[in-house]
Structure 1
Amino acid sequence: MSESLEGLNLSGDEIKRISDAMKDEKFRKLFVEYAEELSDPENRRLYEEELSRLENERGMDITFVNPTPGYVLKTSLNGEQKAFINICQSDKIDKPSGKREKESGKNGLMWYLPHSFAPPREDLDKNGQKCQVYDVVFHPDTYRMAESNQRFKKLVEDTALDGIEKQFAAKLDRKNLKRPNMKFKGTPTATVIRTKSQNGTPNTENEFLKKLPNPYEDKVAPKKVSENKIVEEKNKRNSESSETKVSGPTVPKYSIIHRSELDLQEYTNNQANKKSTRPKELVVTIQLPLLKSAASADLDIFEKRLVLESKQPAAYKLDIMLPYPVNDEEGSAKFDKTKHSLIVTLPVIPVPDKLDEELTTSNIESEGTDMLKDSVVENKPLIEKLVSIIPSNSIIYQKPDFSFTQDTETVNFVINVKNISRDSLTTDFPTPYSIHLKFLSLGSGGFPMNYSLYIEFDEDCQIAEDHCSVDVSTTALVLLILKSKESRREWNGFKAGVDVNSLEVR
């Protein structure tokens, strides 16, 4: 008994009381009678009549929408858990309508698809895991047209998905949309549409009605869904342009945790006990809500990169750079079936002993963050010493965080990296439409970080190399690029990466 109540979030005392009550034959008999009374259509009709009369006295008209099951869409919600969307029908919803319109010189058919949403509810999938369920109700004519026309069916489904994301601030995975062989997830439940009454005025003398909370301000039709009502709205969609282009696999959610051993000696003032800020392990957790196991996923680990890809039963692809070099031969991975997540543990390659020795003897005090900043600004030998320790052919670069603005004449990049060494900064123009920056920075732990940023514009976006400037401060680097005279206009964008082989569109 207690196992079947796990999903109800009950306390141990509540579970015990329910279990004891179900052992009583008299209680079981009363419970069955209560359940039959709730499911009796006549009792439901009386309840709806009484509720309609009560709402009418408050100046509101209500319409009960009893959804007729249709079919189900299955996907994931916010990249974390499963979600089911029930596509239903009811004659209480307005009929669809369409009209011919001309846009961009082409004739098209503009459709109006009235529909309603029920508030999302929590349910369990067949494995007993929690999931979210949404009901979207259309008129039967809309449903019949969707059954006979695949393009119209796509329009109906896009309308449902767009509405759910807008009304409930949800993010649905459209790239892994499935259609399981089921007509409805859960039990169909009637919901209501409340509108301001056109006949009569509210009864303001009834003291009981005054105490009841008004569901809407100024007694107007609701614009948002709450716990006990749904909203009917007309969604304007163009049948020729509504097909959402969904291509490529979904990028799953992930997190990276830096894990290290804690030693109390690290918190003393003895410099001999100071260790590098580099962690011992990286723990990468990847959310895969539509996978049942890791058997269908391919995982590749490189020294500075992690790649995961699956095609069935859901298409996922994750390709990320790791913040530290790892030992790709000694890592481990396990799949958590309860959370539908893959946990990858990767040992980090330690800092070279020579660099550890140099950093330990550099007399950097525990409160020496300001000292490090001064050494960067004043070009003291500390940076030069650290640069000379690391062979140039073994440097591992990472891409810095940056922001980007432009006008018709200039492009401005702000690179958000602190304590940049001016002496380490190099600027190169590989092509007339690209620029490559390299520099070194000292973190607060005294560990040098090497950065590289390769920026490439379109070929017709030429750079005036002689008029570009770089300004370095203690908190950031500002790169000002002057556009050549023949290229002075708004540029469409650019590609950026660590080098020319790792460029990504921005």
Structure 2
Amino acid sequence: MATTDGSLLSAEMSNEDALYEQLLLQAAKEMQYQLPTAPESKQIRPQPGFCVKTKTKNSGKVFINVCKSDQIPPPPDLSEESLVALLESDDPSGYRIPMSLGEPHAEIDNSGNGCTAYDIVINSKFYNKILNNKLFMEFFLTIGFEGLENKYNLELSREWRMLKNRKFLGSITEQNIRTKSKPVIQELESSALNAGSCSNPLISEVERSTCVEPEFTIVAEPADEHPSFLVAEISLPKVDLARSLLLDLGEDRIVLWARPDLYHLDIYIPYNIVQEESGSQFNRKTRVLTITMPVQPA
């Protein structure tokens, strides 16, 4: 349910103005059913790299095909010394690796037994880097395992083995990747509200499922004239970490997914926002996602 509350930004609104803003936002929200909801994407055909064998909590065999493509953007360049310092810090999640996580596909292993395989596609240059650096390899596989666990509700063993004579299990298929960037969600311990940047988007596929729409509030500031910015607060009580969230901001649209299959929000707003100056933060204590969106002048 969408509401407006000027008190969140110390703005005073008359009952008439508040009712007008509420009706305007509600009408904009209802427009979502008139437009397509699929994210902008394109197809890529990755090249095989190497195959890793691991298992699930129930000892089921799992194979992970690590593939490469120039269509996936590389992560920020980082030295081994910087990665060590990052891993020793309180927040190692600051370094993000763009990757595309493919759908699971059933395969047959060398013993003739059934198993499940997943494909992870990364940038070709970064692929070469992890092949030549054990620390980056371990770090990448940790991130990749966590990504598969979040997306498909898995529990994977961190014990893995790279296959010597097989680059890929199964057959290579095309994958859809996003062509539109989205803001990075900053994870906070406090409820501070600051605008962030969106320089390191994660790339992954998203499918619509039985997600529920979370409760949210959108506030305009100032409330009694064309606003300078909007603040959306989205309640996500079932979400623990920011990395399970996927956020897209359009000029007049907010699209949010919370994996695995927890929440989905797709709403239109009655103003055009400045996407590149918008920011988002997730408060782990309150489990509220705050999105700050500067508004284009009237």
Q: TM-score range by the shorter chain?
A: 0.3 to 0.5
TM (norm. structure 2) is: 0.44
Q: Which of structures 1 and 2 has the bigger CA Rg?
A: 1
TM (norm. structure 1) is: 0.27
**Higher relative contact order at CA 8 Å, sep ≥6: structure 1 or structure 2?**
2
